[in-house]
Amino acid sequence: MTLRERPDPVPGAGEVLVRTAAIGLNFADLFVRSGAYPRTPRPPFVPGMEISGTVEAAGSGAPFSPGQRVVAVPLFGGHAEKVVVPAARVFALPDGVDLVPASAMPVVFLTAAYLCERAAVAEGDRVIVTAAAGGVGTALLQLLARRRARTLALVGSEGKRAVVDAFGVAASGTYDQAAGLVEGVFGGAVDVVADAMGGGIFRRLWRRLAPGGRYVLYGFAAASGPRGVAKLGAARELLAMGFLSPYEVVQSCRTLIGFNLSLLPDTHGELRRAAAEIFSLWQNGAVRPVLGPSFPFERLPDAHRALAARGTTGKVVIVVRGAG
């Protein structure tokens, strides 16, 4: 990635120009940079799928006004001081919220909310969350607690357990401890798996689903490497997932759910309603974004490196100087 000056963008019909205050970094941004994400533009292009900021201008038909504080999910183009975003991907913020933590909200909490709905998580369900100390993971732990589920939080190192334990999980541990924890805490079987890792952990956790269990696969962090996606490592992790026959889900009475938030249609306003509920919960203190390390805009490549190393907890955020 190279920092370059470009002309200020101009919003067209149905678009909003946002002056960026902060950028939320996602694993998907690493895959975009590697050209391994759906609909990635041909280079050169500007990556970045999540921002917070202030509306500077709105095109005709866009229901926003200059000065409004918003978060937005442009999918591409968000690593910039000014970003044009389709109005459908812009969400107004409640009064008084801080724009920096706001940048850590939309992607992770919308992902977590959609996952809970699609997996039909109910009170008392036994749930495994992988990558539990990350942005989506910590959002999931909070929403699962609101549903009174019993959660086993899996993390990449012992040092990350304190982050997830703060959310009142039933148990936490590292991936190599997963089998023993499922036996000891849940009696050997679970109702829901929320998996951002994929790779070898998929096969092990799929076998732990009880009849009627739901496995939600929404990421492939196991394939990440210092440059975004480690291609050889990704190939090994794909092979480690094994082959799943469609008929196996019938025989075992299990459900496999896969989704990518950026590809979800919002024809019925489902995501916008979810966003409104999430911001209301945040404003009332019922949920909160868990912030990880923060970087200035000029050090955005360092933020990518930190996330790719998989040593961070919470949401990595980039702050744009002088904005807000």
**In percent, how much of the chain has pLDDT > 90?**
73
In this predicted structure, what is the pLDDT of residue 221?
Answer: 79
Question: Does residue 261 contact residue 237 with C-beta atoms inside 8 Å?
Answer: no
Question: Does residue 38 contact residue 260 with C-beta atoms inside 8 Å?
Answer: yes
For the chain, the first-to-last Cα distance in angstroms comes to 24
Give the span between the Cα atoms of 210 and 192, in whole angstroms.
9
Side-chain-side CA neighbours of 252 within 13 Å: the count stands at 19
pLDDT for residue 324 is more than 60: no
Work out the pLDDT band at 323, boundaries 50, 70, 90: low
| Domains identified in the chain and CATH numbers | 15-105+289-319 (3.90.180.10), 107-263 (3.40.50.720)
SS3 296: strand
pTM of the full predicted structure?
Answer: 0.90
DSSP state, residue 215: E
269 CB contacts (<8 Å, ≥6 apart)? Answer: none
Note the pLDDT tens digit of each residue in 203-231: 999 999 999 999 999 988 777 766 666 67
Looking at residues 177-187, what average pLDDT do you find? 97
Note the pLDDT tens digit of each residue in 50-100: 999 999 999 999 999 999 999 999 999 999 999 999 999 999 998 888 999
User: Tokens 């998907």 label which residue?
Assistant: 28
Work out the pLDDT band at 262, boundaries 50, 70, 90: confident
pLDDT for residue 159 is more than 90: yes
Torsion sign across C-alpha atoms 271, 275, 278, 280: negative
In this predicted structure, what is the pLDDT of residue 225?
Answer: 66
Side-chain-side CA neighbours of 287 within 13 Å: the count stands at 30
DSSP state, residue 81: S
Tell me, what amino acid is at 112? A
Note the pLDDT tens digit of each residue in 30-44: 888 888 788 889 999
Q: What is the 3-state secondary structure (H, E, C) of 143-187?
A: HHHHCCCEEEEEECCHHHHHHHHCCCCCEEEEHHHHHHHHHHHHC
Looking at residues 255-281, what average pLDDT do you find? 83
Alpha-carbon distances of 224 from 190, 202, 298, 311, 312, rounded to whole Å:
27, 16, 23, 12, 14
Instruction: Determine the Cα angle at 140 with ends 136 and 146, to 5°.
Output: 155
Beta-ladder partners of 70: 53, 92
> Closest Cα partner for 292 from 14, 11, 13, 25?
25
Classify strands 69-72 and 51-58 as parallel, antiparallel or unpaired.
antiparallel
In this predicted structure, what is the pLDDT of residue 236?
Answer: 82
6 CB contacts (<8 Å, ≥6 apart)? Answer: 46, 80
Question: Does residue 215 contact residue 196 with C-beta atoms inside 8 Å?
Answer: no
Tokens of 56: 């500077």
In this predicted structure, what is the pLDDT of residue 226?
Answer: 64
